[in-house]
Amino acid sequence: MFLSLKYQLMLVKILIFCPFPCFRIKPCDFDYLKIIGKGSFGKVLLARHKESTKYYAVKVLQKKIILKKKEQKHIMAERSVLMKNIKHPFLVGLHYSFQTTDKLYFVLDYVNGGELFYHLQRERIFLEPRARFYAAEIASALGYLHSLHIVYRDLKPENILLDSQGHIVLTDFGLCKEGLEPTGTTTTFCGTPEYLAPEVLQKQAYDRTVDWWCLGSVLYEMLYGLPPFYSRNTAEMYNNILHKSPVLKPNVSNAGRELLEGLLQKDRTKRLGVKDDFLELKYHSFFSPINWDDLMAKKITPPFVPSVSGPTDLRHFDPEFTHLPVSSSLCTDTLTVTSSVKEAAGAFPGFSYGPPADHSFM
């Protein structure tokens, strides 16, 4: 049966905006205040929900760019992982996801204490108690993901945020691998050069211990100021990762150096965490000052509290982003139905998500 262009567009909009009867949310339900980040597929904006006046980070992605780079699977995996994060205090939470014909929207927890990378750049190194606190919160988040058979695969200071109280919030789940059993392996080459594990670099099968290697790299950077095998020359850095031992200077405790050696073990079958995963880290002597129950309940006072006067205080975000103009097109939808628009409109089935009505924007 032939449908006119007008009715084709109407059907597309119905499918996109009303995937569930429990909610109907659209771009113009928000005031978009500032750009706070940019990525390969779009932008992250500080937005205020008009009705509740609550602040959120809204990640807006361009469908045509995702389709061009054939990254639909990664985007849907990110959404899937976000929906499983509601039970952990150190993982960013998803409130809503929805779509228009040309864009995808993630409505996320808004965190304005800055990236760990930002604070590390300013202070060069962290003292051991501070580094231990962050490493403990990160390790508990990774352990939780592993318990759900998810491997994170992209741990780096840029993906680790601080909230306004000074707690860790792990974000950006685009490279996560779901469905990986404790003894399972995968082979996809992905990650960030400075933090790649040797087995990934060699394009060998790898398992969840890849996340413990990355944690070792981030902990080393917090304690020493640079990733353990860093070189401006990428080929040299890769050679260091494969063949050099990390330099462990004595300004770090014996327990700290021992933990780093265990996490930065090049043979993944001997790496700390290979047997009992997070439990091996939890009971390591480096973390003996940590009360894990108190940590999970956020009862431990963070060693550093970012100075923020309120949700619109953007001092910990890069001015390169915050000075950019906010596009008015965020509140509009593509109206010209072309074959590429129709392809984009139907490329992300099941993307939209909303909590039960009684939890909406609580």
Q: Is 209 helix (H, G, I), strand (E, B) or coil?
A: helix
Cβ atoms of 16 and 333 closer than 8 Å: no
- CA-to-CA dists, residue 329 to 231, 251, 314, angstroms: 41, 52, 23
The dihedral over CA atoms of 261, 262, 268, 269, expressed in degrees to the nearest 10, equals 130
- The HSE-up count of residue 220 (CA atoms within 13 Å, CB side) is 27
310: left (phi over 0), alpha (psi -120 to 50) or beta: left
- Cα separation of the two ends of the chain: 44
User: Which residues, in sequence order, are CB contacts of 337 under 8 Å at separation 6+?
Assistant: 5, 8, 9, 12, 101
Per residue of the chain (362 residues), what is the pLDDT tens digit?
444 555 455 544 444 444 333 357 889 999 999 999 988 888 999 999 999 999 999 999 999 999 999 989 889 989 999 988 767 999 999 999 999 989 999 999 999 999 999 999 999 999 999 999 999 999 999 999 999 999 999 999 999 999 999 999 999 998 999 999 999 999 999 999 999 999 999 999 999 999 999 999 999 999 999 999 999 999 999 999 999 999 999 999 999 999 999 999 999 999 999 999 999 999 999 999 999 999 999 999 999 999 999 999 999 988 999 999 998 878 766 555 566 666 676 789 889 888 755 455 44
The highest-level CATH class for domain 116-296 is mainly alpha
Place of tokens 């061009």: 68
Q: Where in the chain is the domain with CATH 3.30.200.20?
A: 5-111+310-351
The residues with which 32 forms a beta bridge, in sequence order, are 47
Topology, domain 5-111+310-351: Phosphorylase Kinase; domain 1 (3.30.200)
pTM of the model: 0.88
Q: Where in the chain is the domain with CATH 1.10.510.10?
A: 116-296
Hey, which residues are catalytic here? Answer: 154
- Best CA proximity match to 193, nearest among 212, 209, 171, 217: 217
Cβ atoms of 196 and 338 closer than 8 Å: no
For residue 68, say whether it is annotated as part of any ligand binding site: yes
What span, in angstroms and rounded, lies between the C-alpha atoms of 190 and 172? 14
Strands (E), the chain: 30-38, 42-49, 55-62, 94-99, 103-108, 160-162, 168-170
**CA 330 from chain center: how many Å?**
23
